[in-house]
Structure 1
Amino acid sequence: MKISRIDVFPLRLPMKQNFLITGGSVGGVDQGAPHVYVRVVDDQGVEGWGEARPSHRWSDETLESVVTTLRRYIAPALTGVDAEDLETVHRIMNREIKGALGIGQPIAKAAVDTALHDLIGKGRNVRLSGLWLGPFRDTLRLSYLISTPDPEEAAEKARHAREAGFRGVDVKIGLDPRRDVEVLEAVKAAAPDLFFRVDANQAYTLPQAVRLAKRMEALGVDVFEQPLPAGDLFGHAELRRKIHLPVALDESVWTPGDVIRAVRLGACDAIVVKCTKMGGLSGAKRCGEIAREAGLELLGGGLTESSLGLAASAHLFNYLGIETPVDLNGPFFLKEDPVREGPQILQGGTVRLPDRPGIGCRVEEADVERYLAE
């Protein structure tokens, strides 16, 4: 299975609501959301699809940088390479695009890695779980994402999540730090029995995080995600010494080396596994396995990927044995995408995965063309 070509499709997918994090908007109803679809075709005509979801709000990769990285550097370098030799593929990608503290352009590389997993699965006629010699689980539970600085709106969303049968909520804070406690109190009052994950997206200093965590402990929050800046592992370790609330790292952990450093420093109780930021399924799988063996908890997350990225991540989270509801939030924000046969979102936020080889999704090329950003 030699790689014969790599096609890159920059897309703007329509959104049904705006999405804000501490750093600002990562997509909205007016401008849509930037996604990059990648198709890898081998010399037998088998094709695999992958996805990148860049945003300048959560990393230094943009729609434009992902496209130029893939078209000008990675695609030419991978032509003729064995599609099943993922170690060599990553070595070539990392040679062409080097990193500094981490791997360079991991979101762009994630699209290629995911597409190759899809291609290999189709070529061998096995699901992703079969590639990893694991059992196939066809369902996964989603958490319900709440991203608003308005306590009343947060309570309304929490009530909806509970009534709809969701088992967990993921609440973004730091949008208006003055109202964070009000937002959290409103959510807890409306949905007292749901798994309560709170994500700060690096919004606080250490003293601020300590004060807020004390309030969150009394409130019954289950995990405090990425309270401090990504590079401040020492600060997260100090925070853990001062509070009893479990701390999870997201933006701090992009590579297996980052996981090892976090473990050595005692910087967290859990890590967030995200395929897109970790260079694809290969890197995310390795990060999850290292963290699990080190005794850390695993949380599942995403970057508002479409159905394609959601399905790939869901397969991996099932393989890693993640039991808590995961934050694959694309369905809450995207109006539609180019996937016509893929994961189904059922009542209560349950995802039913397609029982087909590879990732299991059928991408409609006419819709890919329709959503092109160029």
Structure 2
Amino acid sequence: MVIPFKKFIIHRLNMRMVDPFATSFGTMQDKEFFLVEAVDINGNRGFGEGVAFPIPWYTEETVKSNLNIIEDFLIPILRDNEIQHPNEVFPLFGRLRGNNMAKAAIEGAVWDLFAKREGISLAQALGGEKTEIDVGISIGIQPTIDELLKKIAGFLDQGYKRIKLKIKPGHDVDMLREVRKAFPDTPIMADANSAYTLDDIHMLKQLDDLNLLMIEQPLQHYDIIDHAKLQKELHTPICLDESIHSLYDAEKAIELGSCKIINIKVGRVGGLSESIKIHDYCKVHGIPVWCGGMLEAGVGRAHNVAITTLSNFVLPGDTAGSSRYWEKDIIKPEVVVENGVIKVPTSPGIGYEIDEAALEEFRFKKLEYEV
């Protein structure tokens, strides 16, 4: 049955994070982003979240470039084509190169709308099997070791299953050694966000002594060749993040031996449909996956919960509870972590309602497009 779109609405929002979040490429506390709302002729509403940053420091995409692509190209494509299932959306968008975060935002809204029309949860619509998911926590670069150790202890007390620490040159081996000394048995991973080169191989090899779960994206964001060279020199598994934008990228990285783990971020790979394909391919080839985070608000967080219910998401992801990042989220109930676990909602769609008052509070612009 054709999904009878009536209109798309873009809500432009600005929300302040509880704490600044620092990585090797910058620090963020105020986050500008947008929601895409897909509305059908019966008044059903589906929501997707744009995860691009205002500055192109993670990928080349930005909030403003995403909005232009959605307005000028993606909505017209959906206006001109009948859609029966969300799996049809990404192939239609394939005529446009790149812009995966823009594609994922609108495709996510279509998936949510589809699940609500079918009366099933988004997790069920995606083929998910789990009723709860394990989650870890990502901690930005801290001013001092003491502050970092206190934060880690606090999150472990809350039950988080894995600790991810951001590293960069000059803030890596010594810091990780101190952390490992304080927490000898805690699953710990290091995320470099492409901060190193093969010239740093001597330092990176020292990480093998720390029993890390993985080191994420140590080398260039576009690279799979040098990562393959590095993985041959390391016992610690390399996890690829920024290098994987598609199923094709995942296939080539696995063929070359560039990694032993893959981080799937829905926005980075163009949406839920491509995420499922990457998940399935990795499962067949014995490569575990986990769901990375992009400092999402509630809608994007809900999509991450749903995709993580697929069976090969065997490592705790970055989908922490809403209160980790936001004093007030835009969904109700908010995403809650109890003893390192999120219970997967079972109501239709993403399983959370939009908090209309919060949406109004944080929204600074609203755009509507008839279909």
Query: Which string of whole-angstrom CA distances, capped at 9 and with x for unpartnered residues, describes residues 90-128 of structure 1?
Result: 233233xx21xxxx2111111111111111111111112
Tell whether the 8 Å contact from 1:14 to 1:336 is kept in structure 2 after alignment. Answer: no
Match status 1:14 vs 2:8: no
Aligned with 1:153 (options 147, 151, 161): 147
Match status 1:239 vs 2:237: no
Aligned partner of 1:5 in structure 2 is 7
Shift of 1:330: 6.8
Q: How does 1:163-202 map to 2 (within 5 A)?
A: 163-174=157-168, 177-202=169-194
Aligned partner of 1:59 in structure 2 is 59
Aligned with 1:255 (options 246, 251, 254): 246
Tell whether the 8 Å contact from 1:74 to 1:93 is kept in structure 2 after alignment. Answer: yes
Tell whether the 8 Å contact from 1:106 to 1:277 is kept in structure 2 after alignment. Answer: yes
2-structure distance, mates of 1:155, 1:286:
38
SS in 1 for 2:310: helix
Shift of 1:281: 0.9
Equivalent residue letter for 1:254: H
* Gaps in structure 2 of 5+ consecutive residues: 366-371
Tell whether the 8 Å contact from 2:128 to 2:311 is kept in structure 1 after alignment. Answer: no
Query: Which string of whole-angstrom CA distances, capped at 9 and with x for unpartnered residues, describes residues 111-157 of structure 1?
Result: 1111111111111111123223443x332222122222532222222
Aligned partner of 1:86 in structure 2 is 86
Aligned partner of 1:297 in structure 2 is 288
Q: How does 1:10-49 map to 2 (within 5 A)?
A: 10-25=12-27, 27-28=28-29, 32-49=30-47
- Relative to structure 1, is the Cα distance of residues 373 and 22 closer, same or farther in structure 2, using a 3 angstrom cutoff? farther
Aligned with 2:137 (options 118, 140, 144): 144
Q: How does 1:256-275 map to 2 (within 5 A)?
A: 256-275=247-266
Tell whether the 8 Å contact from 1:276 to 1:302 is kept in structure 2 after alignment. Answer: no
Equivalent residue letter for 1:111: A
Taking only aligned residues, the RMSD between alpha carbons, in angstroms, comes to: 1.8
1-structure distance, mates of 2:9, 2:83:
15
Shift of 1:342: 4.7
SS in 1 for 2:172: helix
Query: Which string of whole-angstrom CA distances, capped at 9 and with x for unpartnered residues, describes residues 140-184 of structure 1?
Result: 22212222253222222222222222221001101xx22312221
Equivalent residue letter for 2:45: E
1-structure distance, mates of 2:79, 2:49:
19
Shift of 1:289: 1.2
SS in 2 for 1:302: coil
Tell whether the 8 Å contact from 1:344 to 1:351 is kept in structure 2 after alignment. Answer: yes
Match status 1:113 vs 2:107: yes
Aligned partner of 2:198 in structure 1 is 206
Aligned partner of 1:362 in structure 2 is 353
Moved more, 196-205 or 315-324: 315-324
Structure possessing the higher relative contact order (Cα contacts under 8 Å, 6 or more residues apart): 2
2-structure distance, mates of 1:133, 1:247:
28
2-structure distance, mates of 1:236, 1:230:
10
* Gaps in structure 1 of 5+ consecutive residues: none
- Relative to structure 1, is the Cα distance of residues 345 and 162 closer, same or farther in structure 2, using a 3 angstrom cutoff? closer
Number of residue-to-residue matches in the alignment: 359
Match status 1:337 vs 2:335: no
1-structure distance, mates of 2:7, 2:81:
10
Moved more, 212-221 or 242-251: 212-221
Query: Percent of pairs identical after alignment?
Result: 27
Tell whether the 8 Å contact from 1:340 to 1:364 is kept in structure 2 after alignment. Answer: yes
Query: Which string of whole-angstrom CA distances, capped at 9 and with x for unpartnered residues, describes residues 251-289 of structure 1?
Result: 000100110110121111111011111111111111111
Query: Which string of whole-angstrom CA distances, capped at 9 and with x for unpartnered residues, describes residues 6-57 of structure 1?
Result: 11112111211111111112x21xxx11221010012222211111111122
The TM-score normalised by the length of structure 2 is 0.91
2-structure distance, mates of 1:263, 1:242:
16
- In the TM superposition, structure 1's runs of 4+ consecutive aligned residues that sit over 6 Å from their partners are none
Query: Which string of whole-angstrom CA distances, capped at 9 and with x for unpartnered residues, describes residues 194-235 of structure 1?
Result: 211111000001131x22332211111121110000222110
